[in-house]
Structure 1
Amino acid sequence: MSEILGAVFMLALFFLIGAFVNYLDWRKARKQAEQEAREDERIELEAMYVVCAIEHDRRERQRKLAEARKKSPGWQY
């Protein structure tokens, strides 16, 4: 009887160890996925910043060019 209980206990112990290792792997994968998501979000925000900076610079140059055209004598007929 004790041999059967020992075998059942051993199987239960192996199952619990396997479940714990699986949990650790899952937690590690989740942590890595969250880190990759944060990195992707940071890269996306940097790209949006660059696009906005380029757009702002373009608008600023257009505004300055329009002011220069208004001040030039060829503009007034």
Structure 2
Amino acid sequence: MECYVCKSSRGCALECTQPKRGLGLHVSCGLNAGIWIEYQEAKASGVVAGFCLEHTKLWNKQQLLTGKYYKIVSRGKK
């Protein structure tokens, strides 16, 4: 799947979590572009969800309303 941020098909790309969106992105590209990456804990493991820029804006609204979110940050950043 091609990363819609850097336009490369190399590496592993997450698909936007919203159904039928079909946009992929590398986690590092998404973090650099300010796109939300969410980690959802489950009973036995976790799930990483990525959002395209449009859905990132919607997620920001939801985060402001609930105050609850998880964000993955790249190494070296605090």
The two structures have a TM-score, normalised by structure 2, of 0.21
| Greater strand proportion | 2
The two structures have a TM-score, normalised by structure 1, of 0.21
| Greater helix proportion | 1
RCO higher in structure (CA 8 A, sep ≥6)? 2
